[in-house]
Amino acid sequence: MNDSQTDQQHRANPAKRRLSAQIRAAGAVAHITFIASLRSKMLPAMSCAIILALLVLHGTLKGDGTLTGHLTVLLRYSLSIAIALAGIALIWSSCAAIAQDIEEKHIQMVRVKPITASALWLGKWLGLMAGQLILVVLAGITSAILIVVTFNSPRHDSAARDHAMNQLLTGRLRIVPEESVTEADIREFITARPALAATEITPQLAENIRAHLNMMHNSVSPGEHTEWQFNVPAINRQDGPVTLRIRGLTAIMRRAEVDAKWLIIAADGEIRAELPMDYVWSGTRLIEFPADSVLPGETVTVRFINGAGSNDTLTFDPHDGIDMRIPAVPFSLNLFSAMVIVLCKLAVLAALGVTLGACFSFPVASFNHMALLFILLLAGFFAFATTPDVQRFAHDHHRHDHDDHEHTPGPEWLHHISESILVGIDFAAGPVTRFQPVGQLADGIKITAAEILNAILIMPGGYGILLWLLGSWLFSKRELALPER
């Protein structure tokens, strides 16, 4: 389409013409915002800081001395710190984006031109994100280079490399087992108890029964077994073993010997793999099975048998006791996906900063941004701490330890208000904080396309647009040439 055709279209549709003019104006603002971060040396300085942080942390933090440990530290901690550095710089520069333009009065030259408050906000945000894109790409590339160098170091043997490759330098699809306790199990439990059958089954009671049955299902006494079913999706899998990640809750602190074993059983009853286990664990363990023990697109049963010779009952975490991991994508793709989600998180941070900068002076905006971030990050912990179960536990514990003291809670209404605020903040921040791309990367868990799409829709698409609308509205209501107080 040539220019004259485009012009004709624009004349025919003034709304479209206005919109495209505003998009171009936003592009112009984005361009100078990016130029500002380059020429003010902010972006080059941050690039150097991130590379330096990764190099220094890589050289000093070695983990448990193994190759896998070293790489885990690099991915989980060094990369997190590098991203945190980029985030802090972003808080500073996003709060300054509009606030400093107002304070240094550049805004008086810009706002009298035909640009709307929303286009100006958008331009600032896009310019900041262009800088962040460079920083995130730089952090990703530097990490990848360090991983390659460490991986190929002659200090590590091939077994260490295989282990690191299988557990870390891969993107494994995480499959959780089917629900162990069905509605039929709950009904059967009730029917078997006449006293219970006579009472009304409230949702809370049904939930308690489910929790009880789930706990029973995850506790295995000597001579007994339990099993989980996994529906393996039909995927193009990568080379590498199948891993079971198990999380034990056994209270035994010693390394007790047991006579247990794991079986992987196909739908037709064929035993695909068998692995003995001779000691009790507590915490998380990874168990590797041969690659061909699980095939894409089938349903397999994982059975755990606690042998008759064992002395202890073994208990799995009823909420997160077991999952299966199958290599699905190469590490490079997983790293890229993680960086996309990191960028989405930074996009929310930038949007919040630009919005605060449109309402307050730079120092006030940056302080508020930091404070808000701090509250949002801690709200989850506080919201959990104020749940009735935890409160009851803390109260009982306190009474048990200090029987001579009277428990004196504050006013009930104050407790309800603060609890509601915390739950509200946690609810607002939850959709953003639940994305943990660096954690997934460091655990070798595949970041799926659905997760990336969700991250884009929720963070820049949801929170970003909300903050854009709010920031633009507040900015349009602000007088931009008030005399200094």
Partner 1 sequence: MSDEQNNSSNPTAVELTNISKVFLDFWHRPKVKAVDDVSLEIRRGEIFGLLGPNGSGKSTTIKMILGLLFPTGGDIRVMGHGPRHVGARHNIGYLPEESYLYKFLTPVETLRFFARLFDLSAEETERRILELLDMFGIFHAGNRLVGEFSKGMARRVGLAQALINNPSLVILDEPTSGLDPIGCRQVKDLILNLARSGKTVLLSSHLLADVEDVCDRVAILYNGKIRAHGHVRELLEQTDRMRMDLPPLPPDKTRELLTSLRNLLGTEPEISHPAMNLEQFFLDVVEKAYATTETASGVGRQGKLAPFLEQTGR
- Choose between 116 and 250: whose C-beta lies nearer to partner 1: 116
CB 27 to partner 1: min, Å: 7
Q: Which is nearer to partner 1, 115 or 354 (CB)?
A: 115
The minimum distance between CB 109 and partner 1, in angstroms, equals 5
- Compute the least distance from the CB of residue 349 to partner 1, in Å: 24
Give the SS3 label for residue 115: coil
CB closer to partner 1, 51 vs 480 = 480
Measured from the CB of residue 350, what is the shortest distance to partner 1 in angstroms? 20
Give the residue with the Cβ less far from partner 1, 73 or 107: 107
Nearer to partner 1, 29 or 438 (CB): 29
Q: Which is nearer to partner 1, 40 or 191 (CB)?
A: 40
Q: What's the 3-state SS for the chain?
A: CCHHHHHHHHHHCHHHHHHHHHHHHHHHHHHHHHHHHHHCCHHHHHHHHHHHHHHHHHHHCCCCCCHHHHHHHHHHHHHHHHHHHHHHHHHHHHHHHHHHHHHCCCHHHHCCCCCCHHHHHHHHHHHHHHHHHHHHHHHHHHHHHHHHHHHCCCCCCHHHHHHHHHHCCEEEEEECCCCCCCHHHHHHHHHCCHHHHCCCCCHHHHHHHHHHHHHHHCEECCCCEEEEEEECCCCCCCCCCEEEEEEECCCCCCCCEEEEEEEEECCCCCEEEEEEEEECCCEEEEEEECHHHCCCCCEEEEEEEECCCCCCCEEECCCCCEEEEEEEEEHHHHHHHHHHHHHHHHHHHHHHHHHHHHHCCHHHHHHHHHHHHHHHHHHHHHHHHCCHHHHHHHHHHHHHHCCCCCCCCCCHHHHHHHHHHHHHHHHHHHHHHCCCHHHHHHCCECCCHHHHHHHHHHHHHHHHHHHHHHHHHHHHCCCCCCCCC
Q: Residue 65 or residue 114: which is nearer to partner 1 going by CB? A: 114
DSSP state of 281: -
Nearer to partner 1, 24 or 395 (CB): 24
Smallest distance from partner 1 to CB 98, Å: 14
131 vs 122: CA distance, rounded Å: 14
- Kindly tell me which of 107 and 264 has the beta carbon lying closer to partner 1: 107
Cβ at position 39, least distance to partner 1 in Å: 4
Least Å distance, CB 483 to partner 1, is: 6
Q: How far is the CB of 28 from partner 1 (least distance, A)?
A: 4
Min CB(104)–partner 1 separation in Å = 7
Binding positions for partner 1, rule: CB under 8 A = 3, 18, 21, 24-25, 27-28, 31-32, 35-36, 39-40, 104-106, 108-116, 476, 479-483, 485
Q: Is the Cβ of residue 27 or residue 177 nearer to partner 1 in the bound state?
A: 27
At its nearest, how many Å lie between partner 1 and the CB of residue 352?
24
